[in-house]
Structure 1
Amino acid sequence: MDLKLELIVLPVSDVDRAKAFYEQAGFRLDLDKAVSEDWRAVHFTPPGSECSIIFGQGITSAAPGSVQGLYLIVTDIEEARAELVGRGIEVSEVFHDAGGLFYHGHDAGEVTHQVEGQERVAGPHPDRATYGSYADFSDPDGNGWVLQEVTQRAPGR
C-alpha cells in the first residue's frame, strides 16, 4: 500500500499576509477560494514538491505558528538559501550539527528534537555529508521550515 503525504495544514493569523509570504518564497499558488466570509482556503506547493500546504479562514483551530519542522529537501543548501534570501525571505545562515545527529527545529528557541549536548555549528557539514547541512526560516506567524541538503538518498528512499 502506498501512503503519500499530500497536504499539510498551516495555522496562520492573517491569510493575505501568509499568501504574500509564500508567493514571495516562490511557492506555486494552486488555489485561493472563499465560499463565505468565514471560510477561505489558500493552497500552495513548494517548487518541485509533491506535498502542498493549505491555510486560510476556518481551516484549522490550531494556534498560528504552531507547526514546526517542515523540511524542504534541497541538493545545494547554499544555492537554495541564496535564492530565498534573494526573494526577501529571512533565512538563517547554513549550519550543521557538531555531533552529526538529526536536527529538527528553529533557532529562535522554538521546538527542537536534539539530543542533549548537540551543538549547532556555522557553515555546511565539513564533508558536505548528505543529510548534514541545514538552514531554517519561519513564515510571518512563526511556522518553522528547515532546508536540509540531501545529495544522496538513504537506501529505500
Structure 2
Amino acid sequence: MNMKLELFVLPISDVDRARAFYEKAGFRLDLAKDINEDYRVVHLTPPGSEASIIFGRGLTTALPGSAQGLYLVVTDIEQARAQLVERGIEVSEVFHDGKGVFFHGHDAGDVVHKGQGQVRIAGPHPERASYGSYATFSDPDGNGWVLQEITQRAPGR
C-alpha cells in the first residue's frame, strides 16, 4: 500500500501574516475558511507539490515557529532561490554540507552547527551532486524551510 505525505499542520501565531507570507512565496491558496472565532483554516500548496500546508486558529497546540527542517525539493537551487528573493523572501545563500550526507541545521546564519558535525560551505555542491545543495528561509514565526536541489532521484524514489 502506498502512503503519501499529504498535509503538514504548521504552527503560526498570526493567520493573516502567515497567509500573506506564503502567498508572497508563491504557494497556491487552496482554502481559507473562518468557521468561528476559535477555528480558522488556511490551506496552501507549494508550486508543483502534491503535499500542502495548513494553518490557522484551533488547529495545533505546537508553539509557533517550532516546525523545522521542512524540505522543498527543487531541480535548480539557484533559480529557486532567485525566484523567492524576487518575491521578497529572505533566503540564505546557496551552500552545501561539508559532511555531504544530510543537512540538518536550523539557523540560516550558522556556519558550523556545534554538536551536530554540520559544516556549511558557501556555494552549491562542487559536482552539483543531486541532494547536495541547499538554501534556507523562515516564515515570520521562524518555521524553518530548506530548499534542496535534486536533479536525479535515488533508486526507488
Q: Is the 8 A contact 1:77 1:94 kept in 2?
A: yes
- Counterpart of 2:21? 21
- After TM superposition, give the deviation of residue 118 of structure 1 in Å: 3.2
In structure 2, the partner of 1:133 is 133
Contact 1:65 1:141 in 2 (8 A): yes
- Following superposition, which runs of at least 4 residues in structure 1 exceed 6 angstroms of deviation? 112-115
> What letter matches 1:101 in structure 2?
V
Residue aligning to 1:59: 59
Deviations, residues 46-69 of structure 1 (Å, cap 9, x unaligned): 000000000001111110000000
Amino acid at match of 2:8: I
Q: Give the unaligned 5+ runs of structure 1.
A: none
Report the secondary structure of 1:119's partner residue.
Answer: strand
- Tell whether the 8 Å contact from 2:33 to 2:42 is kept in structure 1 after alignment: yes
1:116, distance to aligned residue in structure 2 (A) = 3.8
Letter of the 1:5 counterpart = L
> In 1, are the aligned partners of 2:27 and 2:44 still within 8 Å (CA)?
yes
Identity %: 76
Count how many residue pairs are aligned between Structure 1 and Structure 2.
156
TM-score by length of 2: 0.94
- How far off its partner does 1:146 sit? 0.2
Alpha-carbon displacement from aligned partner over 1:80-126 (angstroms, at most 9, x marks no partner):
0000000000000000011212112322579x999743311000000
| CA separation of 1:140 and 1:82: change in aligned 2, threshold 3 A | same
- The 5 Å alignment of 1:76-95 reads 76-95=76-95
Separation (CA, whole Å) in 1 of partners of 2:109 and 2:84: 22
Give distance in 2, aligned partners of 1:64 and 1:32.
19
Give the aligned partner of residue 97 of structure 1: 97
Q: Which runs of 5+ in 2 are unaligned?
A: none
Matches within 5 A, 1:146-157: 146-157=146-157
Change (3 A) 1:65 1:125: same
Counterpart in 1 of 2:71?
71
**Separation in 2, partners of 1:4, 1:114:** 34
Structure 2 vs 1, CA of residues 147 and 49 (structure 1 numbering), >3 Å: closer, same or farther? same
Q: Measured at CA, do residues 115 and 125 of structure 1 come closer, stay the same or move farther in structure 2, by a change above 3 Å?
A: farther
Contact residue 45 and residue 51 of structure 2 kept, 8 A: yes
Give the TM-score normalised by structure 1: 0.94
1:121-156 superposed Cα distances (whole Å, 9 cap, x missing partner): 000000000000000000000001000000000000
**Matched residue type, 2:53:** I
Q: Cα RMSD over matched residues?
A: 1.8
Q: Secondary structure at 1:154's aligned position in 2?
A: coil
